[in-house]
A and B are shown apart, each in its own frame.
Chain A
Amino acid sequence: MANFTLNINGKQQTVDVDPATPMLWVLRDHLNLVGTKYGCGIAQCGACTIHLGDVAMRSCMLPVSQVGNQAVTTIEGLSENGDHPVQQAWLEHDVAQCGYCQSGQIMNAAALLKANPKPSDAEIEGAMNGNICRCATYVRIKAAIKTAAG
């Protein structure tokens, strides 16, 4: 066990955990930030996507010891009032069915648009291919990303 001080959603938070603990479980079990979801544990489904700096990361395989003081953003911290353009576009297109994967989809899409504000269809597909939606709302996810891109 060891202490780690993390910069999460703009707040300093200290946790005492095994250094190998993935950020996913630090967020969910220790910091009560449960918007980040467990889906596979092997970085194959994208449900656990968070931002490290501006980059989308799969938190299920990211040991807490590797995070250091990099800024971590989770779905809870993406915007103050749930009004990030990607979140708004998700509501406009009423994307969700079960909704379980959507935190990860939104975090991945937000990182994509930060890096590439006007992605082509192929670029959207390429960036989003790591995020599984079992309800298969892909058509709406893509439409929402295009709306958010303006």
Chain B
Amino acid sequence: MTTSNSRRTFLKNSVLASGGMVIGVNWLTGCKNASSEAALTMPKEWFNFNAYLKIGENGVVTIFTPNPEFGQNVMTSMPMVVAEELDVDWRNVLVEMAPFDAVKYPPAIFGQFTGGSRGIMSKWEPLRNAGAAARHMLKEAAAQAWQVPASEITTSAGVLKHEKSGKSAGYGEMAAAAAKIPVPVKPTLKEIKDFKLISQSQKNVRGKEIVTGKPMFGVDYKVDGMLIAMIAQPPAFGMKLKTFDGSAAKAMPGIKDVFSIKTYNDGYEKGGFDVNAFPELVAIVGNSTWEVMQAKKALTIEWEPIAAYSETVNGWGGKQVVNVPAGLENSDDHAAKMAALAAKPGRVVRRNGDPEAAFKKAAKVIERSYSCPYLAHNCMEPMNFFADVKGDKVKVAGPLQIPGFIEPTLAARMGIPVENIEIEMTRMGGGFGRRSYSHYLVEAALISQKMNAPVKLMYTREDDMTNGVYRPAYHAVYRAALDENNNLLAFHVKAGGIPESPLHADRFPAGAIDNYLAEDWKIESNITIGAFRAPRSNFIAGAEQSFLDELAEAMGKDPIEFRLELLKRAKENPVGERNDYDAARYAGVLELVRDKSGWGKTPVAAGVSRGVAAYFCHASYAAHVLDLTMENGKPVVQKVTSAIDCGIVVNPDAAANMTEGAVTDGIGNALYGEMTFKAGAAEKANFDKYRMIRMSEAPKAIDVHFVKNEIAPTGMGEPPFPPIFGALANALYKATGKRVYRQPFLGEREVMG
């Protein structure tokens, strides 16, 4: 075991009071233990061990969650991993959201990034190491105090023991000495079979605060003297601010000022998450939300069309030139343009064998086209942020998914070093990808700077829905070549969208078919798009899995058996070399869902129609069997059986909850979700027009099963989402005899057909 020097600072418990004060209540709610049942006695002194934990002299442990919480329950599951390796009683654990700190939580471990289902996946080792390192240091301290070999000391539930001498001590008693022990670089980790806490369901550590309405969200943030700000943004994509007159608004009660802000300096090279169609806005600032809302209506603003432009964006894939066309776009034109491009040859992304020749000699060719509209994220908590800019110091607090990616943007715009920026992450009222693009944080800081006062910027629902970073509109054409005996000869997918393609050329069924061709295309647009729960997969999975269902039917095969045959080929004799999925794990979820749903064995009740689909994304595997009935032309989802392989499941009940949510969210978006544009304007601005799934439309039951294995955790928040679109489409076909190709399957209509 090697060691390194550590910072041996310890802090007084004043740390507990250092969070933003909200309404006189401690923002950090740090007096409740992790199981949210009883209060713990606060220690007099804390001893810091590492970026993830500190221990009090009374044995109470505080564990810091590095990643912002948006409902994926990392506030509970991440501390569980630390607590497991630390070997501490979960009831003695307090949980806190760590502030943004790029040194403690560096980019090498994906920083403090909530997205891409990378939370537990990227922090599994750091969290385990943090707990194990502290446990090692505690054992070393006890060994020195008792003059016995550290190897003879055992730990259990926060107690150190030396069997031979009969000596024992709580972690708190050894914390002061242990914090001075050199930090081991590679501490010994527990064997997976010895886990006591991981894989045992624990309740949400913020459950009690949630059900009692405690302040914890960005919109709840408040400090003395804080002003409320709103923004007025262009009414359509392709428009920008020309002039404005804020005098009438400024004369209204409670209004302090009206001015325009520019989110970026001229010539600023954007990062990949600086997505923002409206970089120049009018800000209205006043005393209270209602007053500012009213004043916003009194603004006189003239907008003008943008000119086409190109910009260099320095994103994940390196620097890229992005062309943004001028014009006011329409959804009808989008559909026509997509159909036109889909009919032309695309860019070949992958080719195996000789697909063109195979299609030529085919006895039968099946070709189907699928499409989907833009989707708005519609987080229940609209975009908002708190900012307090004092001279060259910036404090910001609020809901965002990736603080590390907005900090450089903020620093550049304010012209201050990152050392002078403090970012506090509040609980998010949903994210779904939208809060990866936190331009609203910079807007809040600019408004605070101008006002020389703390400010909370609030988007209205209408601002939020019409200034989206939407899920793009996509289109895919699938073709299959069959011989006279209905054997599959070749497979062809050509997929594109506005402004990106949803194609994942190296995923299943690539690798399972000798003659395979994947092409993509894209159409430029000035409507901003971005990550939306399982980007690209959230469309292509449904299209692909619907097509495979249709193909299985044409080939006279059971849809699960057909997939398993393909996966067997991919496993035993894969075609090509870039197949990015594990065929055995993929088959595993199909087999599990087949068994748990009684597929093909249990007779399906009269009137019930079943569909199946599976998908791989974010390093995990998910399969669903969906049972529905038709009642007066409406699909009623009676039951969904889900099988997930995401490796070790840290908190099974919470993971089941997330799967249930993903399934229901997917059914909602598949049936109803749609944003349309007319003359550049988002045509739906609130929930009266934008149809969201509601309780009566949710599945009546969802039965979630996890594959049990010892694989380090892979993604969980996104993988169950994409395949439900396919399972629903396939069940709808069974119920109605008609295939559905265009999302949303229902939209504003109440009944099918």
For B203, the closest partner residue in chain A by CB is: A94
Inter-chain CA distance A74–B204, complex, in Å, is 23
Q: Could you tell me if A102 and B210 are in contact, using CB atoms closer than 8 angstroms? A: yes
Q: What CA separation (Å) do A20 and B203 show in the bound complex?
A: 41
Chain B neighbourhood of A142, CB < 8 A? 695, 698
Q: Mark A75-119, 1 if CB is under 8 A from B, else 0.
A: 110100010000100110011111111110010000000000000
Of the residues A17, A126, A137, contact of B660 by C-beta under 8 Å: A137
Q: Which of B69, B222, B695 contacts A141 (CB 8 A)?
A: B695
Q: Does B26 contact A (CB under 8 A)?
A: no
Chain A contacts to B: CB under 8 angstroms: 1, 17-18, 20-22, 25, 28-30, 32-42, 44-45, 47, 74-76, 78, 82, 87, 90-91, 94-103, 106, 121, 124-126, 128-142
Answer yes or no: B217 CB below 8 A from chain A CBs: yes
Shortest CB–CB separation between residue A120 and chain B, in angstroms? 12
Q: Are A34 and B23 in contact (CB under 8 A)?
A: yes
Partner of A97, one of B288, B657, B692: B657
B207 within 8 A of A: yes
Closest to A86 in B: B211
A82 — which chain B residues lie within 8 A by C-beta? Answer: 208, 211-212
> Which residues on the B side are within 8 Å of A21 (C-beta)?
288, 290
C-alpha gap A32/B610 in the complex (Å): 50
Shortest CB distance B667–A (Å): 8
Cα distance A21–B661 in the bound complex, in angstroms: 35
| Beta-carbon contacts under 8 Å, B421-462 to A | 427-432, 458, 460-461
In the complex, chain A residues whose CB is within 8 Å of the CB of B22: 34
* Cα A8 to Cα B294 with chains together (Å): 25
- Interface segment out of the listed B12-20, B144-152, B376-384, B483-491: B376-384
Contact A139 B288 (CB under 8 A): no
CB-CB < 8 A to A94: which residues of B?
203-204, 207, 653-654, 657
Nearest chain B residue, comparing its CB with the CB of A75: B213
- Which B residues have a C-beta under 8 Å from some C-beta of A? 22-23, 36, 69-73, 203-204, 206-208, 210-217, 219-220, 222, 228, 253, 288-291, 294, 378-382, 427-432, 458, 460-461, 653-654, 657-658, 660-665, 668, 686-688, 692-696, 698-702
Query: Does B664 contact A136, Cβ atoms closer than 8 Å?
Result: yes
Q: How far is the CB of B283 from chain A (nearest CB, A)?
A: 18
Between-chain CB contacts (< 8 Å), 11 pairs: A17-B290, A18-B291, A21-B288, A22-B290, A36-B213, A40-B687, A41-B686, A90-B211, A98-B429, A135-B665, A138-B694
The docked-state distance in angstroms from the alpha carbon of A32 to that of B693 is: 31
Partner of B692, one of A1, A106, A134: A134
- Do the beta carbons of B211 and A102 come within 8 Å of each other? yes
Q: Which residue on A lies nearest to B668, using beta carbons?
A: A136
Q: Known contacts being A21-B290, A129-B694, is A96 close to B213, with CB within 8 Å?
A: no
A-B residue pairs, 3 tightest by C-beta: A35-B213, A100-B429, A98-B71
A142 CB, min distance to chain B CBs, angstroms? 7
The chain A residue sitting closest to B667, CB to CB, is: A136
Q: Is the CB of B206 within 8 A of A136?
A: no
Q: In the complex, A136→B698 CA distance in Å? A: 8
Alpha-carbon separation in the docked complex, A74 to B212 (Å)? 10
The interface residues of chain A lying within 8 Å CB-to-CB of B73 are 97
Question: Whole-angstrom distance between the alpha carbons of A94 and B466 in the complex?
Answer: 33
User: B212 — which chain A residues lie within 8 A by C-beta?
Assistant: 35, 75-76, 78, 82, 87
* Chain B hits for A132, CB < 8 A: 380, 687, 692, 694
A sample of 18 more A-B contacts (CB under 8 A), given A40-B688, A94-B207, A136-B661, is: A18-B290, A18-B291, A32-B222, A38-B461, A40-B461, A75-B212, A76-B213, A94-B203, A130-B694, A132-B380, A132-B694, A134-B430, A136-B662, A136-B663, A136-B664, A136-B668, A137-B661, A139-B660
- Measured in the bound complex, the distance between the Cα atoms of B660 and A39 in whole Å is 22
Most chain A C-beta atoms within 10 Å of own C-beta, residue among B70, B228, B430: B430
Inter-chain CA distance A142–B461, complex, in Å, is 26
**A134 CB, min distance to chain B CBs, angstroms:** 5
Could you say which residues of chain B place their CB within 8 Å of the CB of A25? 288-290
**B695 touching A129, Cβ below 8 Å:** yes
CB contacts (< 8 Å) of A90 on chain B: these are 207, 210-211
Chain A residue at minimum C-beta to C-beta distance from B696 = A125
Counting chain B CB atoms within 10 Å of each CB, which of A22, A32, A139 scores highest? Answer: A139
- Once bound together, how far apart are the Cα atoms of A75 and B212, in whole Å? 6
CA distance A31 to B220 in the complex (A): 12
A47 surroundings in chain B (CB, below 8 A): 380
What separation, in Å, do the CA atoms of A37 and B208 have in the docked complex? 17
| A41 in contact with B427 (CB, 8 Å) | no
Nearest B-chain residue to A39, judged by Cβ? B380
Chain B residues near A95 (CB-CB < 8 A): 657
Q: Which residues of chain A have C-beta atoms less than 8 A from B253's C-beta?
A: 1, 18
The answer to whether B695 touches A125, judged by C-beta atoms less than 8 angstroms apart, is yes
* A74 engages B213 (CB within 8 Å): yes
| A124: chain B residues within 8 A (beta carbon) | 695
Cβ-defined contact, A126 with B380, below 8 A: no
Structural contact, B219 and A38, CB atoms closer than 8 A: yes
Which of chain A's residues have a CB closer than 8 A to the CB of B461?
38-42
Separation of A133 and B692 alpha carbons in the complex (Å):
9
Residues of A within 8 A of B431 (CB): 98
Given known contacts A42-B686, A97-B661, A34 and B220 CB-to-CB distance under 8 angstroms? yes
Collect the chain A residues with CB atoms within 8 Å of residue B289's CB.
25, 28-29, 38
Contact present for B210 and A139 (CB under 8 Å): no
* Nearest CB of chain A from residue B505's CB, rounded to whole Å: 31
A140–B22 Cα distance when bound, in Å, is 30
Q: Which of A35, A97, A128 contacts B71 (CB 8 A)?
A: A97
Contact of A140 among B220, B294, B657, B694 (CB under 8 A): B657
| A41 and B699 contact, Cβ closer than 8 Å, known pairs A74-B213, A97-B73, A139-B664 | no
- Complex: A19 Cα to B668 Cα, angstroms: 38
